[in-house]
């Protein structure tokens, strides 16, 4: 996931996700029409509806970038579910956002990690190893979720804008992430322009895809979810802030 690109933190821990299949529809045999009257001519079969011939029109790249900026700048809080895929590994959990600068990825078991940003620092907390790794917020590839105001054309390098009937994808390059340059693909619903997914390719070439579900942008998260216990009293270690890039 985008946060797996936080170097040695080891964020890519995954479990199988639950797949839901739609229920099948069944016709009611009791609702069959009565037999036709004697000597009645058979009813003509209905003509199929003509297929839509309207071609897909790609969105103008400048319009897409402005819509993305509008979405991020109008999103002040977020609570939702996420699914994270990296290689053959999969995990899921809850995500909480409070702008500016506060974020939490809370991984479901059996993962043992939490990622917390408290407005200044990002902590990758490994409950199994009893460690915390610290990073500056600007070292993460998630500026689009954390910055108070986002301007993609100025904050990152926009590399490409593509669209199809299912997605509008904006690809950006961020040179300030930990370890080097990261490439981020932001994928939006073309109708509502809600953020659906993002994919991060970290400086080592590892790809992580995050998909959002059940997003609530109106309910503020509990402030306690963004607290980082920098000085723990349970005997666990806490490593120093990583400042190299």
Q: Which residue has the tokens 């809370």?
A: 106
The listed CATH number (3.30.1330.60, 2.50.20.10, 2.40.160.20, 3.40.50.2300) that belongs to domain 59-229: 2.50.20.10
3-class SS letters over 198-233: EEEECCCCCEEEEEEEEEECCCCCCHHHHCCCCCCC
Q: What is the pLDDT of residue 45?
A: 61
Q: Give the DSSP H/E element, type plus range, for residue 71.
A: helix 61-74
Phi then psi for 6, rounded to 5 degrees? -80, 50
Across 145-158, b (16+ Cβ under 10 Å) vs e yields bbbeebebeebbeb
97 pLDDT more than 60: yes
Count Cβ atoms below 10 Å from residue 200 Cβ, excluding itself: 24
Please state, in angstroms and rounded to a whole number, the distance separating the CA atoms of residues 186 and 136.
22
Q: What are the pLDDT digits (tens) for 162-187?
A: 999 999 999 999 888 877 889 999 99
Q: Which residue has the higher pLDDT, 117 or 236?
A: 117
At 145, is the pLDDT very low, low, confident or very high (cuts 50, 70, 90)? confident
């Amino acid at each position: 996931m985008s946060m797996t690109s936080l170097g040695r933190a080891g964020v890519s821990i995954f479990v199988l996700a639950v797949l839901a299949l739609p229920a099948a529809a069944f016709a009611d045999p009791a609702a069959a029409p009565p037999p036709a009257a004697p000597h009645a001519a058979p009813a003509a079969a209905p003509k199929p509806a003509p297929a839509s011939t309207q071609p897909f029109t790609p969105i103008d790249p400048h319009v897409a970038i402005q819509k993305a900026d509008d979405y991020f700048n109008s999103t002040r809080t977020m609570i939702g579910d996420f699914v994270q895929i990296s290689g053959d590994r999969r995990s899921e959990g809850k995500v909480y956002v409070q702008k500016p600068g506060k974020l939490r990825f809370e991984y479901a078991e059996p993962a043992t990690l939490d990622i917390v940003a408290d407005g200044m620092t990002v902590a990758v907390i490994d409950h199994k190893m009893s460690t915390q790794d610290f990073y500056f917020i600007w070292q993460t590839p998630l500026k689009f979720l954390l910055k108070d105001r986002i301007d993609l054309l100025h904050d990152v390098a926009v590399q490409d804008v593509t669209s199809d009937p299912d997605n509008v994808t904006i690809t950006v390059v961020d040179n300030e992430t930990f370890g080097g340059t990261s490439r981020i693909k932001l994928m939006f619903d073309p109708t509502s322009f809600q953020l659906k997914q993002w994919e991060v390719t970290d400086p080592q070439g590892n790809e992580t895809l995050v998909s959002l579900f059940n997003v609530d942008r109106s309910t503020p998260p509990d402030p306690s979810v963004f607290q980082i216990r920098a000085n723990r009293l349970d005997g666990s270690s806490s490593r120093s802030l990583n400042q190299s890039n």
